[in-house]
Structure 1
């Protein structure tokens, strides 16, 4: 949960690096929250839950982009690589590979290694 909150606090930071654990833990908690909202809507069929879900998605989109750009920075790629999934099939494969790949072990042009910075 701390990883999720940490990403939310740095919602507009597109400049640093994000390690794999930060990225994937954020998305894990994000998917859990979206699953609970979707399950609640299916169970209760409430317009209020639908509005809560829409509001949550609108509020979380910027932190999602920011942590993805920081994750790309960790592997030494520009944040513009966030658009590589536009290329059908191969774009998604390359994008997923970059998100799974271990970050640069030393400092790169985007900052110090987040694993060594306390």
Structure 2
């Protein structure tokens, strides 16, 4: 849970590095929260307003932690734009985010796990 809170504390921080644990914990918790909110929306007559608000609230931290995760592999944050390429782009990004980061300091900072 500390990894999720660390990602939220760095809401607008697009510099530095994020380890695999921080990134994937953030993604998993957001998926679970999203499904809970969608389930609650379907059980009530509120509509999709809470789900839309949740998505808007996590948009910037999701981009920030994604950029920091790419920085961990010594890649520019601009690689996030690959997500705009249908099918191939997201698969390449998943590959980049799954592989281990550099154990040494790189141009984006020191190793977050070290």
One fold, TM greater than 0.5?
yes
- Where 1:112 maps in the other structure, the secondary structure is coil
TM-score (ref. length: structure 1): 0.90
Q: Which runs of 5+ in 1 are unaligned?
A: none
**Cα RMSD over matched residues?**
1.2
| Structure 2 residue aligned with 1:37 | 37
- Give the paired residue count: 114
- Where 1:29 maps in the other structure, the secondary structure is helix
- The answer to whether 1:92 aligns with 2:90 is yes
Identify which of 79, 84, 93 aligns with 1:81: 79
Q: Deviations over 1:44-81 (max 9, x none)?
A: 2323xx32222121111000000000000001100000
CA distance in 2, matches of 1:72, 1:59: 22
CA distance in 1, matches of 2:59, 2:42: 23
| Structure 2 residue aligned with 1:59 | 57
Q: Cα–Cα, structure 1 residues 93 and 51, in superposed 2: closer, same or farther, change >3 Å?
A: closer
Q: Which runs of 5+ in 2 are unaligned?
A: none
- The answer to whether 1:24 aligns with 2:24 is yes
- Where 1:105 maps in the other structure, the secondary structure is coil
CA distance in 1, matches of 2:54, 2:84: 25
Q: Cα–Cα, structure 1 residues 52 and 93, in superposed 2: closer, same or farther, change >3 Å?
A: closer
Q: Deviations over 1:90-114 (max 9, x none)?
A: 3222111101010011111000000
